[in-house]
Amino acid sequence: MARLRARVHGGDIYSAARELKRDPTEILDFSASINPLGPSPQVWKAITASRHLLNHYPDPNCWDLRQALATFWRIDPEQIVVGNGSTELIEALPRALGIRRLLVVQPTFSEYAAAMVRAGGQATALFADRSDQYAIPIDRLCHVMEAGRHDGRSIDGVVLCHPNSPTGQACSAEDVARLAKATRRRGIWLVIDEAFADYCPERSVLPHAASWPHVIVLRSMTKFYALPGLRVGFAVATHTAIRRLQRQLPPWSVSAMGQVAALAAVSDTVHAQKSLRFMARERERLRTLLAALPGCVVMPTYANYFLVELPRGWHARDITEELRRRGLLIRDCSSVPGTNLRSIRLAVRTVQDNDRIVRSISHLLLQGAS
């Protein structure tokens, strides 16, 4: 059985700034995949207009935000729970649902396994194949869920990151529905992390999750809505599952400004459309530039980042370190179980930033080759 360990994350501009004796805002961060257009202009207005809320506790029920999310997704607000980032919900899930043995589809975000272990349970892995460009192994997964067993032992939970990080892969909404059906037969919990699904809405199953027993969909306001500093995420599931999850959360875990900003963000469909159009264009441009780097392999993606394999002979750790010295952060994926040592993840940022990272990588590869 493959045992999984906790890993480091991207987005730590503070440590890099301290090391380089620079201001954190001077660090160019490709290691966290945040909408390069930034938060909606409505978010700035809403925060400014809500300054008076700072001397009150936040709404412990996140009432207004849940109403807005429910209207947006056409579901019952009682089927939504908001957390201090989706990370808080990931942490609470094993205890809330009584999961003891979780199957994680790897390579993926490390916190599912880490949270499971912290809750006193075990995490086991089902690996996507590199030879298949890490496509989600949907048939194998269905088979495992129907059997209710993996590696000779029973499982009571499965987590699927969809689209997956760091690989960028996603399957169709119909395939996810197949998993939801398989889960029903065995009563295994299926957690679908849709932190990046805003970039491929046709592959999301969010509204359906409200009526699927044993399925929880997680969403984040961090990535597409560009609010990583405010920490807001939410889960959608049946009434019973949401109540169980809610009971595991500490009171007031979502700040007043987080609630105000998230509400303004989901209400601004103009900024959302602009962000999607930008990403569709810029992602293709960056893909072409990266694919033109000699020896680099660029994986397909449904999200706002690319998993890239460096040319043979290179180690992801070395190039990550070299770029860091230049104030450029990328995600070294060499330690993510299931990827190879040449794997890095790059967020799609602005045109200017993307040109800069490609130039810098190209320069380092040429230097190394000479």
Ligand X SMILES: Cc1ncc(COP(=O)(O)O)c(C=O)c1O
Footprint of ligand X on this chain (CB under 6 A)? Answer: 9, 85-87, 109, 161, 165, 193, 195, 220, 222, 228, 233
| CB closest to ligand X, residue no | 85
- Which residues have CB under 8 Å from 272's CB, separation 6+? 40, 198, 224
Q: Which is nearer to ligand X, 195 or 361 (CB)?
A: 195
Taking the least distance from each CB to ligand X, the nearer of 87 and 301 is 87
Say if residues 365 and 314 touch (Cβ distance below 8 Å).
yes
CB of 55 to ligand X, least distance (A): 26
Q: Which bin fits 8, alpha (ψ -120 to 50), beta or left (φ > 0)?
A: beta
Q: How far apart are CA 114 and CA 110, in angstroms?
A: 6
Distances (CA, A) of 2 to 126, 314, 340, 351: 9, 26, 16, 40
CB of 236 to ligand X, least distance (A): 14
Q: What angle do CA 184, 188, 189 make, to 5 degrees?
A: 100
Q: How far is CA 341 from CA 144, 213, 309, 319, 355, in A?
A: 28, 39, 8, 11, 25
CB nearer ligand X, residue 122 or residue 222: 222
Of 121 and 233, the one with the shorter C-beta distance to ligand X is 233
Least Å distance between CB 292 and ligand X? 27
Query: Of 165 and 354, which has the nearer Cβ to ligand X?
Result: 165
CB 233 → ligand X: shortest distance, Å?
4
The distance of closest approach from Cβ of residue 303 to ligand X in the complex, given in angstroms and rounded to an integer, is 9
Q: C-beta of 109: minimal distance to ligand X in Å?
A: 4
**In this structure, are residues 314 and 297 in contact, taking their beta carbons and an 8 Å threshold?**
no
Q: Which residues pair with 83 in a beta bridge?
A: 233
Residue with smaller CB distance to ligand X, 302 or 314: 302
